Amino acid sequence: MPSIAFPFPRLRRLAYWLLAVLPTTANATGFTYWDDPGATAVTLTREEFVAQASHRRGEGRLAFVNRVINNAARQQFEKVDTWKGFDRLVSDGYGDCEDFAIAKYQILIQAGTPASRLDFLAADDTLTPTYHAVLRYRQDDGSHLILDNLTPMMLPESRRTDLIPLVSFDANRAEHFRDGRFHAVDPARVVLGGQRLSERMPHLMDY
């Protein structure tokens, strides 16, 4: 069967993206993000960030990590679709939507969130329109919350009618959305950003 190829995100900002993102400074000792509640620039090391996230529970942890990472870098077009984890995202100060999703995945897992609760969703964004990537958190009832770099709001997937699912994946499995539901798919058949998903999945914590 042919491969399923998706051109990966090159996004314009959504209309509801109103946050002013502070240019990031990052070095061996820390990174800087804009703290909305305090209206101040805050500098943390990665270790401090993980520690603060680990002291939070449930949606509080998700919201904290989502907000900090969203405000620690800016969405920017990249000619070469190089996937980035947290360290490179905040060091560069910019990235594509999948970079923000990977960064959140890494920090949440380090902070104690079970990896089995997290996966990635590549979707057709009907508002832009283009392709978009977000991190999903699976709740106890099996539904998902969406952590999106374009908004601080964490909405249930059922309310994100702007996103038409294409493929979901984590470090161990991939599913293709068709006929109104997800179906298991060989990740070697899925191409994201010019690379087979089977080559991407083992390195989600290493980017």
User: Which pLDDT score is estimated for 127?
Assistant: 85
User: Which pLDDT score is estimated for 129?
Assistant: 73
Amino acid identity, position 40: T
Mean pLDDT, rounded, for 1-24: 41
Q: What is the 3-state secondary structure (H, E, C) of 10-73?
A: CCCCCCCCCCCCCCCCECCCCEEEEECCCCEEEEECHHHHHHHHHCCCHHHHHHHHHHHHHCCC
Q: What is the pLDDT of residues 48-68, one digit of tens each?
A: 999 999 999 999 999 999 999
Two structure tokens written together for 100:
């923000």
Mean pLDDT, rounded, for 69-96: 91
Domain ranges, residue 176: 4-203
CATH of the domain at 177: 3.10.620
3-class secondary structure, 4? strand
Q: What is the pLDDT of residues 92-148, one digit of tens each?
A: 999 999 999 999 999 999 999 999 999 999 999 998 778 899 999 999 999 999 999
Q: What gap in Å lies between CA 41 and CA 57, rounded to an integer?
A: 24
Q: What gap in Å lies between CA 36 and CA 160, rounded to an integer?
A: 24
User: Has this prediction a pTM greater than 0.95?
Assistant: no
Q: What gap in Å lies between CA 62 and CA 190, rounded to an integer?
A: 28
Angle at 196 between CA 163 and CA 82, to 5 degrees: 75
User: Which pLDDT score is estimated for 194?
Assistant: 87
Taking a C-beta distance cutoff of 8 angstroms, is the pair 171, 204 a contact? yes
Residues of the chain with pLDDT > 90: what percent? 74
Residue 16 binned pLDDT confidence (cut-offs 50, 70, 90): very low
User: Which pLDDT score is estimated for 131?
Assistant: 84
Domain count, the chain: 1
User: Which pLDDT score is estimated for 5?
Assistant: 57
